Amino acid sequence: MTVSIKDVARQAGVSIASVSRVISGKPGVGSATEARIRKIMEDLNYRPNLGARGLVKQQTGNIAIIVPRGSFTLNNPFFSTVIDGIAKGIDQSDYNIVMSFSSAQQKKLLENKSVDGIILFSPRSEEFRLEWLENLGLPTVVIGSYIDDSPFPCVRPSDTDGIDQAVHALYERGHRHIGLVNEPMSSMHSVKCWEGYHQALQRLHLGPGSNDMLELNEFDVNASDRSVAAFFRSRPTMTGIVCASDYLAIGIMRIAATMGLSIPEDLSVIGADDVPIASLLTPALSSVQVDLPGIGQEATRMLIDLLTGKHVDSKNLVFPMTYIDRETTRNTEH
């Protein structure tokens, strides 16, 4: 049924070696026979079997995108926006993207020689063991904050500085009691956000803040309505909230609304990453902008460089963040 290189060879009255040569554009075949072979390939609608080729060339042409299971949701705009950037980066190449969604399948995917390299969204500490990843022997690029001394190159936002900026923005607008809504600290990203928050409060002489961080149990704030409400209610003087992501901020806005708090009148809110919908919300979400598609694109470039043996210069690529003032923040008197 499926037409192979043999069929072409037979039809053209040549050996499979010659056919293979014209396919891969290698020299050593007369222009007359070449033309004949091409014609036959066309007629027979021949397509190379990439699996077979991969078998001999020891490469698959596939790149795995691994997103931590659980925080996953393409609906989390952080992922979808970065992946859009990956898509752009990969367009230039011949690689395809392979994804698995359960962690059992992800393991299989990586172990069974189905991919040439990995783009790894910073896993939580309990997810993949570093040793296990190294053992894979696959070129890997990490997106997002990750263990500082990991052997993999890493592309990420300057989370710490970003959150720092957000706190400062609120301070400049008169806020003195500022909280942080954070994801579980098992993620390195959360740790970095905490550091930025803490560092800003220190500099502004606003205290350590240990008491004003809400650490969610889940990565999805929508699963935590009650604890969020309790957090707000027990801190009546708190006028400003910084969130570790826009996704979180959107959830916070929703919960605040159900509590009768209006934004920004009663509460100023700042997100992080500035995902596309942030500016589409009403009120538009103030956030700390970073070039998320750029991160995806750069990570892809680095991985492809790794894959093609090019020298990879920068081991850590940190994208700057800059505060964007929109409608969820306003001045307050203290």
Partner DNA sequence: TTGTATGCGTTATCAT
Partner DNA sequence: ATGATAACGCATACAA
Q: Tell me which residue has tokens 């460089």.
A: 305
15 binds, among DNA, a second copy, none (CB under 5 to 8 A by kind): DNA
Q: How many residues does the chain have?
A: 334
Q: By C-beta, is 13 or 276 nearer to DNA?
A: 13
Name the segment binding DNA (CB under 7 A); options: 11-19, 101-109, 118-126, 159-167. 11-19
Q: By C-beta, is 26 or 129 nearer to DNA?
A: 26
Q: By C-beta, is 28 or 260 nearer to DNA?
A: 28
Q: 10 Å Cβ neighbour count for 243? A: 30
Q: By C-beta, is 33 or 199 nearer to DNA?
A: 33
279 binds, among a second copy, DNA, none (CB under 5 to 8 A by kind): a second copy
Task: Identify any residues that bridge with 327 across adjacent strands, giving them in sequence order.
Answer: none
> Largest alpha-carbon pair distance within the chain?
89
Looking only at the bridges linking them, the beta strands covering 178-182 and 154-157 are unpaired
If binding means CB under 7 A, how many residues of this protein chain bind DNA? 32
- Beta carbon of residue 322, minimum distance to a second copy (angstroms, whole number): 21
95: exposed, middle or buried (C-beta count within 10 Å: 0-12, 13-18, 19+)? Answer: buried
Report 49-108 residues binding DNA (CB under 7 A).
49, 52-53, 55-58
The answer to whether 215 and 197 have CB atoms below 8 angstroms apart is no
Q: Does 16 bind DNA (CB under 7 A)?
A: yes
Tell me how far apart the alpha carbons of residues 49 and 237 are, in angstroms, rounded to a whole number. 66
Closest to 164 in 3D by CA, of 172, 152, 153: 172
Cβ-Cβ contacts under 8 Å for 117 (sequence gap 6 or more):
63, 64, 138, 139, 140, 141, 303, 306, 307
199 binds, among a second copy, DNA, none (CB under 5 to 8 A by kind): none
Q: How many Cα neighbours within 13 Å face the side chain of 129?
A: 3
The answer to whether 255 and 228 have CB atoms below 8 angstroms apart is yes
Q: By C-beta, is 43 or 91 nearer to a second copy?
A: 91
Q: By C-beta, is 113 or 315 nearer to DNA?
A: 113
- Provide the binding-site residues for a second copy, judged by CB under 8 A: 1-2, 47-52, 54-55, 58, 60, 62, 72-75, 77, 79-81, 83-84, 87-88, 90-91, 94, 96-102, 105, 108-109, 111-114, 137, 250-251, 253-254, 257, 263, 275-277, 279-283
Binding site for DNA (CB under 7 A): 2, 4-6, 13-18, 20-21, 23-24, 26-30, 32-34, 46-49, 52-53, 55-58
